Amino acid sequence: MFGKHLFPGGVHPKERENGKAVNSGNPIVDMTPPARVTIPLSQHIGAPAKAVVKKGDRVVIGQVIGEAGGFVSAPVHATVSGTVDEIRPCLLASGLTVPAVVIDNDFQDEWIKLTPCSHPETLTAKELQDIVRNAGIVGMGGATFPTSVKITPAPGKTIEKLIINGAECEPYLTADHRLMLEQSGRIVDGVHIIMQALGVSEAVIGIENNKPDAIDAMTEAASGMDGITVKGLPVSYPQGGEKQLIYAITKRMVPNGGLPIDVGVVVLNVGTVFAIDEAVRDGKPLVDRVTTVGGLVNNPGNYRVRIGTPISLLLDTCGGLRSDVRKVLSGGPMMGMAINDLEIPVTKGSSGILALGEEAAEPAEGPCIRCGRCQRACPMMLSPYLMDLYIRNEQFESSEKLGVMNCIECGACTYVCPAKRMLTQSFKMGKRVIQTRRKEAADREKAQAAELEKEKAAAGLKKEG
């Protein structure tokens, strides 16, 4: 139906295979924990965590330093043992500034008492969901949505299938690829645990065909496991987008504004599944993650890094930046965010750090020539050139009518545009404006309703008087 692709649109970034080839053979290396970590209290979608430590407190690895701020939230844990030096604002790669706990490492490497479970099959769904919640696990492919919420279906919702995202379609990134090669058994074990938590009998692990060794490793690990299959997928960006992956595997289309659960599916990234297995089997909270460091660094690699490690130290571990670097990104070249401050910490969603040269220079935009390439590339079947036109003219409502809020910011339209239009940046900005306006309208409505209630109460009192 969609040519070579298993979903609408899609592109083939030329940097993809070369960028990945550099790092896919580099085994995961444990990075030495730094002398000081800065751990943001908001590394996830939803309410920020609330600090439960203060300056001068001694903490150990895995201790909760920030409690979840609500149902859609996640706790945050100490990633080194040592002393809390301060709680201060911290800049994130997203450009947001959030409170963070700064800990000076005492290098005692002391952990909280862990509660491992060697028989997860004896646990109830609720017990498994609680372990995942308390471990602070969020979507580690970069989405950072709290995983416990995903695996706790709302009443009335039925889940039929679990899909595991091993596509890793962003150029340069190889962290998931290495995890699938080195931890295939634990990932399959994690899949089994999540199936138990969700009460589903079918799971599919989707992997792009440019990782045949990972397909083999995962297929072997899953052999003999009832209900778990591995599916090779055509190489196409953004194959790892949640909606694109669901369509490629099930032919079910998540409705606009809807969620995977609306078509009976839950999608989790392989890194998230590995973290769940560690949380359940080892009792280990999320204190580290595997991150790819690629592009123009002297020794690119895949590193297991403690959350809160400054990116500058991670780059030092990789032999430093080369002299021709023009831009450093958090994430891959298609969806990554440019960072200007290398003291920004590695967070739960940091799938990669990428240093780019000349190719990162932003070319001058030309006028739109109405070639339609952006529309053909869009995996969400949107009209990027029209949405962009409206946003540039501040006609945000018109861009909303065209579906800009369904844009997944994949960058495919920008990538193919011959006029070098900054389409994705335009949509990010437009979405922010629309969200702000929606919030302001909701606040206004609330205030008016409160005012009305007050007036009614006052009128009632007068009558009684």
Q: Which helix (H) or strand (E) holds 411?
A: none
Contact, 231 vs 186, CB < 8 A?
no
Q: Does 408 sit near ligand SF4 (CB under 6 A)?
A: yes
Amino acid at 111: W
Toward ligand SF4, which CB reaches closer, 279 or 378?
378
* Structure tokens given for 37: 């970590």
- Which residue from 153, 240, 336, 384 is in contact with ligand SF4, where contact means CB under 6 A? 384
The one segment of 246-254, 270-278, 414-422, 456-464 that binds ligand SF4 by CB under 6 A: 414-422
Q: Does 274 sit near ligand SF4 (CB under 6 A)?
A: no
* Structure tokens given for 54: 């203060």
In the bound complex, what is the minimum distance in angstroms from residue 345's beta carbon to ligand SF4? 27
The closest alpha carbon to 305, from 273, 253, 350, 239, belongs to 350
Q: Does 336 sit near ligand SF4 (CB under 6 A)?
A: no
In the bound complex, what is the minimum distance in angstroms from residue 365's beta carbon to ligand SF4? 9
- Which residue from 91, 423, 426, 431 is in contact with ligand SF4, where contact means CB under 6 A? 423
Toward ligand SF4, which CB reaches closer, 247 or 303?
247
Angstrom distance (rounded) from CA 143 to CA 92: 14
State the DSSP code for 263. G
CA-CA-CA-CA torsion sign (112, 118, 120, 123): negative
Q: Does 392 sit near ligand SF4 (CB under 6 A)?
A: no
Q: Does 417 sit near ligand SF4 (CB under 6 A)?
A: yes
The one segment of 73-81, 121-129, 406-414, 457-465 that binds ligand SF4 by CB under 6 A: 406-414
* Structure tokens given for 154: 């709302």
Toward ligand SF4, which CB reaches closer, 14 or 54?
14
The closest alpha carbon to 237, from 393, 69, 34, 412, belongs to 412
The beta-carbon contacts of 248-254 under 8 Å, at least 24 apart in sequence, are 248/6, 248/7, 248/206, 249/163, 249/204, 249/206, 250/161, 250/163
Angstrom distance (rounded) from CA 385 to CA 375: 8
In the bound complex, what is the minimum distance in angstroms from residue 182's beta carbon to ligand SF4? 32
- Which residue from 14, 54, 370, 392 is in contact with ligand SF4, where contact means CB under 6 A? 370
Q: Which helix (H) or strand (E) holds 73?
A: none
Q: Does 137 sit near ligand SF4 (CB under 6 A)?
A: no
Q: Which helix (H) or strand (E) holds 284?
A: none
Binders in 425-454 for ligand SF4, by CB under 6 A:
427
- Which residue from 29, 125, 337, 419 is in contact with ligand SF4, where contact means CB under 6 A? 419
- Which residue from 180, 378, 391, 402 is in contact with ligand SF4, where contact means CB under 6 A? 378
Q: Does 360 sit near ligand SF4 (CB under 6 A)?
A: no
- Which residue from 342, 368, 429, 434 is in contact with ligand SF4, where contact means CB under 6 A? 368
Query: CA 425, 237, 4: angle at the middle one, nearest 5?
Result: 135
- Which residue from 193, 249, 380, 391 is in contact with ligand SF4, where contact means CB under 6 A? 380
Contact, 343 vs 283, CB < 8 A?
no
Q: Does 169 sit near ligand SF4 (CB under 6 A)?
A: no
Q: Which helix (H) or strand (E) holds 100?
A: strand 97-105
Toward ligand SF4, which CB reaches closer, 70 or 366?
366
For ligand SF4, the binding residues (CB under 6 A) are 368-374, 377-380, 382, 384-385, 407-413, 416-419, 421, 423-424, 427
